[in-house]
Amino acid sequence: MTQEQCTHRNNVQSSEKPQVYKVGIYGWRKRCLYFFVLLLMILILINLALTIWILKVMNFTIDGMGSLRITEKGLKLEGDSEFLEPLYAKEIQSKPGRPLFLQSSRNISVNIVNSNNQLLTQLVTGSSGFKARGKMFEVKSTSGKLLFSADEQEVVVGAERLRVMGAEGAVFSKSVETPHVRAEPFKELRLESPTRSLLMEAPKGIQILAEAGDIQAICRNELRLESKDGEISLDARRIRLMRLPEGKASTSSSSSGTRQTVYEVCVCPNGRLFLSQAGTGSTCQISNNVCL
């Protein structure tokens, strides 16, 4: 084999060797990829840090969040709570031995509705006052005794004593039923009807008692004491009948002596009382001109 043939053979063998290609990202593409990976890691760390910070600030735990705790009986709030929307709950109560405060800048309304969403009972407290709406209103003591009750038919006061502290007293447009009316110690008791009549009725009797003072009955027209089946008794050491009219005796029967200062009380057939000058006998027949 000549030298030229060997050289050509070597060239052919060298040209048949496999070529090697480089696989990967090089240059500016590689630098951009590393930059995005680093940016993504930074964002992940920032997100993780913010999540941990929110959990720490809001006090997230297994039992709840912050002052809110989830228990077997419901939700438990500790401290002050603010509700921006209506609150629907079956029961609201405070911790044992702690008061429950409800506060609002406008008003507080408690509504009771039926299945048709119709209002049955309403309780509203606001700047204008306290309002309650319902079929009946009751106030009871801790022992369960009825203190006050009101409905469409009547108002019942079950306390031992009802005190009216106003300077003008109490005004009733209708009748009042009570077993005892009494003023405060060292105060006056006045029963007055400025424009109508005042009627006092009792099936077994009416007792008016003033242990350390006077009793006055003042009227504009007539004061009538009437007993249908019994009698009217005036029991006192002194009985004074003021401003009774005085009967005048006729001229023929009048005496010319000095004026008498002793009188007798006479009664007309219609029940009217008048005075007549006393004499040796009764002078009512002589001075009965008052009865005419």
CA neighbor of 267 nearest in space, from 282, 254, 249? 282
Percent of the chain with pLDDT over 90: 6
pLDDT in tens, 91-143: 777 777 778 777 777 788 888 888 888 888 888 888 888 888 888 888 888 88
What's the mean pLDDT when you consider all of the chain? Answer: 78
- Return the amino acid letter for 45: L
pLDDT in tens, 49-73: 999 898 888 777 777 776 777 777 7
pLDDT band, residue 5 (cuts 50/70/90): low
Q: How far apart are CA 186 and CA 144, in angstroms?
A: 34
Q: What is the pLDDT of residue 256?
A: 46
Q: How many CB atoms lie within 10 A of CB 151?
A: 12
For residues 291 and 251, the model is more confident at 291
Distances, alpha carbon 232 to alpha carbons 200, 210, 273, in Å: 16, 19, 16
pLDDT in tens, 169-182: 777 777 777 777 87
Q: pTM here? A: 0.42
For residue 122, list its beta bridge partners: 111, 133
Asked whether the beta carbons of 215 and 208 are under 8 A apart, the reply is: yes
